[in-house]
Structure 1
């Protein structure tokens, strides 16, 4: 059992979360340490590194928390499974959308698992960094990160001695970011999470195997971004939209609520041939090609492919496409409030453990904010408003 009785309704909810994951830790020491670690990630600590988290928790040194991330016996994937069940219970809804994206973690040196000079969308340039591929779940009650994988470039998987030094398992071979994303969608589909839609940016949307997995293998729907050069039955999508959508068929629609209110764009859509399960069957869904045009800059046009139910409208597809930004909000708040990117671990196992616990902390904030909104007591829709409620004592 985790120590210390709840001291408030907020603390009581956190204790319930610790009870969910408690069975994943065979001894009382790691259960106490993971409790202190997650509480520290939720606390108003200036920097969520080992020393400051240990100091906040009342530890004389960070050794215990470092041991939790490096050598203690527990499986981060099992805790991820518990996190997904928690998200399903707290934020799950039939309107759920799964979102896939990656984010960079800038690092110095060359010994951290997976690090090399590579393009980071987070930094907007090539940096010495690690890349993590993530999935987020979004619904009407809130959104949170639900899965993660560390991308290992060929410079790593082709050097087994380097991998062993970073404690990367021998069975971990090279996989592209898209390979990791497809595996993540499969896991989410097999989890308790309820969703009918998947969305992603063009790095994943242009991958035909990614789209076929969603539509054919898993019988789900998607709205995914693609580059303007994406070929759609021959011609480029940019050319087809220009040719097939007359000027009066653009519609001003919302892509959802952002930090400054509704995010409006001009949208256009064109239907592609219907999709039947087998020859002779009645169609069950329609494919679309979409375009989204900025109101401020009419030359700024983004393109999408969609596979949707027969009854779906352009308004529905604009809403799903707009959900993709929610994973960016998750990255920002998880980094700013829960130390997602402030780890000091270098080995493969430590990365997964820290990232999973930071995701758990961030999910708790999202669930707490959802509960407060529904009670009518929240003063903001941002889940990090709960940070100020964090108890100071966790030891």
Structure 2
């Protein structure tokens, strides 16, 4: 709050913002204005509603503070920005940007809003650092009355999702965020303009594309489908690499890469599931020569944004809002992202402290607890800001107990996964 307090000109919205953030971090089941007002001890939801709709403060300025906070607390030289979208299923037609459209949240076409997000992932943590609400062209951009009712400014024009993604990437670069790589899913990898802008900026990318994507092999005149290229590869072209550690151990896949284009910095990367044989494809470009392992690492980082969405919705109420106004949406989303970044920063700090402590004797039978996670930290923080039914020592006892059992379960999964791996 000390970091963002200067963004609020009056004490009332500043106090409401603090109460709102505490509510997002609390055990409150639904984190909307009514529930958060009750959690804060207010007699009515008016202060929370004014914070989101009428109070004078700039959500984009708070977003800038959030981005700087994230980079400061868990940024490293190897940080990777990730672009993706998530849906917010809604009822009615008054919410800004709502229409019947496909959303991966529901896995089908639903009446929903779609937000395009930028995450920042490093070895120390990951968090959402920027957001844009997608405004459909036909149903919204050309309807002045509907725009006015939802509080959408006249100067807000239609922008494709890849265009919104580039705006966020460019803003992060302008703010000094170091980004040697960018990654994203097919909706963004298929857009040639986004890829061209990244190349112009000297930013490498590993972007997922469809199997029908056509590429030129060995400077051939006729482009070939990516899945056709994969089918022609010899067995020796595939190498086993881990795309990073998951909840149950390293995520091993078979990988192949093929030079495409006229220079040595452009590749088609192919991932093959070692159990099902399912293929995934990525277009890659880098300003310098890279290894297959580096491309695999960046491809694996892309899933971090899905973890961010899961944590933001499950822990800090990213999708719990009940607002229709354009400004209110951006304000709630920004505060939820800030709450998530706070939890991630605490997790990064406790991980650093844990590495600095001496290891217990090898003869100890009890496994070391897992590192503090975002859900565990929110659980402890929520308990500490509410009148505790248990002592702090009791809370920490149960935290250690849970994390020890999580560590034992993870060890069991890793051991089973290692036993299933064929010998090198």
Q: TM-score, normalised by structure 2?
A: 0.84
- Structure 1 CA distance for aligned equivalents of residues 20 and 262 of structure 2: 51
Q: Which runs of 5+ in 2 are unaligned?
A: 217-222, 358-368, 388-424
Residues 393 and 58 of structure 1, relative CA distance in 2, 3 Å threshold:
farther
Shift of the alpha carbon at 1:310? 3.8
| Aligned-partner Cα distance in 1 for 2:320–2:270 | 37
Q: Which residue of the partner structure matches residue 270 of structure 1?
A: 258
Correspondence for 1:189 among 173, 185, 190: 173
Which residue does 1:210 correspond to in 2?
194
Matches of 1:322 and 1:379, distance apart in 2? 22
Q: Which residue of 2 aligns with 1:382?
A: 373
Partner of 2:338: 360
The CA distance in 1 between the partners of 2:53 and 2:44, in whole Å, is 15
Query: For residue 73 of structure 2, what is the aligned residue in structure 1?
Result: 90
Moved over 6 A (4+): none
Report the Cα distance in structure 2 between the residues aligned to 1:266 and 1:146, rounded to whole angstroms. 32
How far does residue 293 in structure 1 lie from its aligned partner after superposition? 0.6
Q: Does 1:297 align with 2:309?
A: no
What is the 5 A alignment of 1:223-238? 223-233=206-216, 234-238=223-227
Q: Is the 8 A contact 1:85 1:192 kept in 2?
A: no
Give, in whole Å, the separation in 2 of the partners of 1:393 and 1:70.
27
8 A contact 1:255–1:265 mirrored in 2: yes
Partner residue, 2:147:
163
Deviates more, 1:83-92 or 1:304-313: 304-313
Displacement after TM superposition at 1:55 (Å): 1.2
Is the 1:88–1:192 Cα contact (8 Å) retained in structure 2? no
2:60 corresponds in structure 1 to 77
* Residue of 297, 301, 324 corresponding to 1:323: 301
2:249 to 261, 264, 267: 261
Q: Is the 8 A contact 1:132 1:150 kept in 2?
A: yes
Q: Deviations over 1:153-172 (max 9, x none)?
A: 12011101100000000111
Look up the match of 1:62: 45
- Report how far residue 393 of structure 1 moved: 5.2
Listed one character per residue, the Cα deviations across residues 234-255 of structure 1 (whole Å, up to 9, x for unaligned) are: 1112222333x32111011111
Matching residue of 2:238: 250
- What residue is the counterpart of 2:409 in the other structure? none
Greater shift, 40-49 or 93-102, is seen at 40-49
Task: Pick 1 or 2: higher relative contact order, CA cutoff 8 A, min separation 6.
Answer: 1
CA RMSD of aligned residues (A): 1.5
Deviation at residue 273 of structure 1 after TM alignment: 4.2
Task: Give the deviation of 1:312 after TM superposition.
Answer: 1.5
Q: Which residue of 2 aligns with 1:14?
A: none
2:104 aligns with one of 107, 121, 143: 121
Structure 2 residue corresponding to 1:177, chosen from 151, 161, 169: 161
Bigger radius of gyration among the two: 2
User: Does 171-180 or 233-242 show the bigger shift?
Assistant: 233-242
1:392 paired with 2:385, answer yes
- 8 Å CA contact retained: 1:84, 1:192: no
> SS at the partner of 2:3?
helix
Contact 2:203 2:287 in 1 (8 A): no
Secondary structure at 1:19 match in 2: coil
CA deviation after TM superposition for structure 1 residue 309, in Å: 4.9
SS in 2 for 1:195: coil
The 2-side partners of 1:274 and 1:356 are apart by: 43
- Could you tell me which residue of structure 1 aligns to residue 406 of structure 2? none
User: Where does the alignment leave 5 or more consecutive residues of structure 1 unmatched?
Assistant: 1-17, 276-284
Partner SS, residue 340 of structure 1: coil
